[in-house]
Amino acid sequence: MAMQMSVSISSSSSAFLNQSSLTFRSERVGVPPKASGACKCVATEPAEKTAFTTKVSRNANMGKLQAGYLFPEIARKRNAHMLKYPDAKVISLGIGDTTEPIPEVITSAMANRSYALSTLEGYSGYGAEQGEKALRTAIAATFYADLGIEEDDVFVSDGAKCDISRLQVLFGSDVSMACQDPSYPAYVDSSVIMGQTGQFSSDVGKYQNIEYMRCSPENGFFPDLSSVARTDVIFFCSPNNPTGASASRDQLKQLVQFAKDNGSILVYDSAYAKYITDDSPKSIFEIPGAHEVAIETTSFSKYAGFTGVRLGWTVIPKQLLFSDGFPVAKDFNRIVCTCFNGASNISQAGGLACLSPEGLKAMGDVIGFYKENTNIIVDTFNSLGFKVYGGKNAPYVWVHFPGRSSWDVFAEILEKTHVVTTPGSGFGPGGEGFVRVSAFGHRENIIEACRRFKELYN
């Protein structure tokens, strides 16, 4: 896999080098030493050839996956760059990991819960697989007050990405799926792993059997539903990672109606809903009728810096039924009980603290900080004459480099500025020509990265 990736990057990079007036010193742009080392290993090491093999065939669906999962690939390229330039101050605005400390009102609750585990009275082992009642109640009250969602509709988890995979296990391999193009890669990759798709068609950059719903500046980043084929499941993320676009109430009404007309299930990822500043809905359950067609999955990761702590939740209303009338939530409960033993009790204490009045204020402050970062990045690219999207309701800025390969732009920015971004095409063919710049960073790093962008593109 490392070989596939490095080959495709190096060839597209050299195409770029031919066109570009910029002077690239390195003929190895985008070809990490580590990746080429891996290629060599696979291709030539005799030990590999004589290695013992089991009689177990590889899961054919795994074999369909292209290269590695996007973000570890980016991390590998960043590490290779750091090896190449050991003295460079590399700034990561790529993977989208949070950087600011978790407010103390939240960490102290986790510390207390942790210390309590050392006492007879405070010790607890396995908890409810669906999450602690107090947290489920607080989530329902905080995010879904008056939206007809009850505490037992909420399944607490170790994060939205894990829930996306558990939802795929719930649906099984016989469903068809649609997702936005571009979109967060976990939907497509988990669908491939589950066997819902055909092979990857490299000419179009798509897997067979997935309905890619193109979201571009031309359609305001909302798909033209009249040209979208029916699928069983529709993954939809708003505010969207990577484009930063959020769907309006009117658009979500159309989406819910589309799901209803087709008898589809909508999996709505609202991991960035708290970044919304305009009147875009923060939950799909604000839309009448959504309870009969939608699941919502979301996370504390980008709200409270819980990317390492791990805590999220999924809402499945009782009204959501399979074609035979069986409640989807009941099957999901079975999956959760079989494949998961509940979120860490320490994380859940943190989650509960997040939802206290002080916790909510502290989370709001951190989100406000990242939103200021976003404004700095947006202003920078605007001032350089780029077309910039997103940023308003999401911590991601989607910068257009028309006619250019996004992997080449990623390599150019890394090579020339030591700033890691994310190539748009890593999120699907619709991301080609764009680069995602994340606003998760210390302020001085954001300012320095923007200074370097200005130096490169002025």
Ligand X SMILES: Cc1ncc(COP(=O)(O)O)c(C=O)c1O
- Looking at the Cβ atoms of 410 and 457, the one nearer to ligand X is 410
Among 184, 268, 389, 427, binds ligand X (CB under 6 A): 184
By the rule CB under 6 A, 430 interacts with ligand X: no
- As measured in angstroms, the least distance from the Cβ of 301 to ligand X is 3
Report, in angstroms and rounded to the nearest whole number, the Rg of the chain calculated over CA atoms.
22
- Looking at the Cβ atoms of 301 and 406, the one nearer to ligand X is 301
By the rule CB under 6 A, 161 interacts with ligand X: yes
By the rule CB under 6 A, 159 interacts with ligand X: yes
Beta strands in 293-362 (DSSP E): 294-299, 312-315
What are φ and ψ of residue 446, in 5° steps?
A: -65, -45
Mark the segment that binds ligand X (CB under 6 A) among 123-131, 147-155, 275-283, 299-307. 299-307
Output the six-digit token pair for 255. 């989406």
Which residue in 349, 276, 357, 286 sits closest to 315, CA to CA? 286
By the rule CB under 6 A, 436 interacts with ligand X: no
By the rule CB under 6 A, 165 interacts with ligand X: no
- Looking at the Cβ atoms of 144 and 184, the one nearer to ligand X is 184
By the rule CB under 6 A, 283 interacts with ligand X: no
By the rule CB under 6 A, 407 interacts with ligand X: no
Among 307, 356, 375, 382, binds ligand X (CB under 6 A): 307
Q: Which of the 8 DSSP states describes residue 215?
A: -
Among 73, 181, 189, 269, binds ligand X (CB under 6 A): 269
List, in order, residues 6 or more apart from 408 with CB less than 8 Å away. Answer: 12, 13, 15, 16, 30
By the rule CB under 6 A, 73 interacts with ligand X: no
Among 32, 94, 96, 342, binds ligand X (CB under 6 A): 96
- As measured in angstroms, the least distance from the Cβ of 430 to ligand X is 15
Among 271, 287, 409, 439, binds ligand X (CB under 6 A): 271
- As measured in angstroms, the least distance from the Cβ of 300 to ligand X is 7
- Looking at the Cβ atoms of 92 and 299, the one nearer to ligand X is 299
Question: Residues of 91-120 as b/e, b for ≥16 C-beta within 10 angstroms?
Answer: bbbbbbbbbbebbebbbebbeebbeeeeee
Which residue in 196, 99, 15 sits closest to 444, CA to CA? 99
Mark the segment that binds ligand X (CB under 6 A) among 39-47, 57-65, 158-166, 341-349. 158-166
- Determine the residue type at 276: I
Q: Which of the 8 DSSP states describes residue 103?
A: P
With 0-12 CB in 10 A as exposed, 13-18 as middle and 19+ as buried, what is 409?
buried
By the rule CB under 6 A, 394 interacts with ligand X: no
- As measured in angstroms, the least distance from the Cβ of 237 to ligand X is 5
- As measured in angstroms, the least distance from the Cβ of 312 to ligand X is 4
By the rule CB under 6 A, 182 interacts with ligand X: no
By the rule CB under 6 A, 408 interacts with ligand X: no
Please give the residues from 231 up to 260 whose contact with ligand X meets the rule CB under 6 A: 237, 241
With 0-12 CB in 10 A as exposed, 13-18 as middle and 19+ as buried, what is 338?
exposed
Strand order in the sheet with 154-157: 154-157, 312-315, 294-299, 265-269, 233-237, 177-181, 210-214
- As measured in angstroms, the least distance from the Cβ of 226 to ligand X is 26
- Cα–Cα dist 85/92, whole Å: 15
Give the distance, in angstroms, between the CA of residue 87 and the centroid of all CA atoms in the same chain: 31
By the rule CB under 6 A, 207 interacts with ligand X: no
Output the six-digit token pair for 130. 């669906």
Cα distance from N-terminal residue to C-terminal residue, the chain: 37
Output the six-digit token pair for 42. 């696979």
- As measured in angstroms, the least distance from the Cβ of 266 to ligand X is 15
Q: Which of the 8 DSSP states describes residue 297?
A: E
By the rule CB under 6 A, 14 interacts with ligand X: no
- Looking at the Cβ atoms of 314 and 417, the one nearer to ligand X is 314
By the rule CB under 6 A, 131 interacts with ligand X: no
By the rule CB under 6 A, 160 interacts with ligand X: yes
Name the residues that contact ligand X, by CB under 6 A.
Answer: 96, 159-161, 184, 237, 241, 269, 271, 299, 301, 307, 312
